[in-house]
Amino acid sequence: MRPVRGFTLLELLVVIAIFAVFALMAYGGLDSVLQTRAGVEAAMEKTAAVQKAYIRLREDFQQVRNRPARDAYGDLQPPIHVTRDARVELTRGGWRNPLLLPRPGLERVSYRLDGKKLKRESWRVLDQAQDSKPVELVLFDDVRELRWRFLDDNREWHESWPPTSSTGARADAPIPIAVEIRLDSEGWGELQFLFRLGLKKVSPAQGAPAGGATPNGSGAGSGTNPDPAPEETTQ
């Protein structure tokens, strides 16, 4: 019989070294795949956040309604305007109410830059009281600069609204036909959003046509405006 011969120590060491090399190569490839996957998921999350913010902005500005509203101090404010602290406030319609809660179909909304966060604020009531608290939603959290421009009927751009050259009562200021937003983000650079406010401008004193849609976008069919404009008081 031929004697049984096993592996020598040197051969075992060579085999172990070869397996170690393959294991390192496999681990390196797996780690690269995992890092790539994490980077892709992070980029997709950022892209989804930008898309959600864009949709939110588009819905608000395309649903602008010509309805002034009172602020927390009782002063009548235009349907859309820029406040002293660089906030943009507007009245929008189309506020869905699937639970049939006792609230109007119009909503008062504002956008402001808080540090590096672009926040959307909305109120449950259209005409605010001093104890009215907004619901906040952060749209962007890495904003370095935010600029607004508003296009009037003469195709002229204004960095504030109502324009300083406008005449008449402030609450009766017209609605711009377009709004441009320039947003300088750390992650995306400069983003530019342009929204056309193509809705028909309805006088706030007018009610809805009988049997038709009300100014808040719901077909009530009552012929009256469920969210009448408040009367402007004189000092």
Residue written as tokens 């060579």? 14
Residue 124 lies in a domain: yes
Show the CA angle centred on residue 229, arms to residues 224 and 233, nearest 5°: 140
Q: In the sheet where 88-92 sits, what is the strand order?
A: 80-82, 88-92, 107-114, 117-123, 135-140
Asked whether residue 226 carries a pLDDT value surpassing 50, the answer given is: no
Task: Write the DSSP symbol of residue 229.
Answer: P
Q: What is the mean pLDDT of the chain?
A: 79
Q: What integer pLDDT is reported at residue 43 of this predicted model?
A: 83
Neighbours of 180 (CB within 10 A): 16
Assigned domain for 28 exists: no
| 48 within a domain of the structure (yes/no) | no
Give residue 3's pLDDT: 64
Burial class of residue 108, CB neighbours in 10 A (0-12, 13-18, 19+) = buried
Please give the residue range of the domain that contains residue 176. Answer: 61-196
Give me the number of domains the chain comprises.
1
| % of the chain residues with pLDDT over 70 | 77
The yes-or-no verdict on residue 29 having pLDDT over 60 is yes
Is 182 part of any domain?
yes
Mean pLDDT lowest for which of 11-25, 123-137, 158-172?
158-172
For the residues 162-191, what does the mean pLDDT come to? Answer: 83
List the CATH number of the domain containing 126: 3.10.610.10
Average pLDDT value for residue range 186-195: 91
What is the pLDDT, as a whole number, of residue 234? 40
The answer to the question of residue 72 being in a domain is yes
Q: Using one digit for the tens of pLDDT, what is the confidence trace for 45-98?
A: 888 989 999 999 999 999 999 999 998 888 899 999 998 888 999 999 877 777
pLDDT at 168: 53
In a domain, 191, yes or no: yes
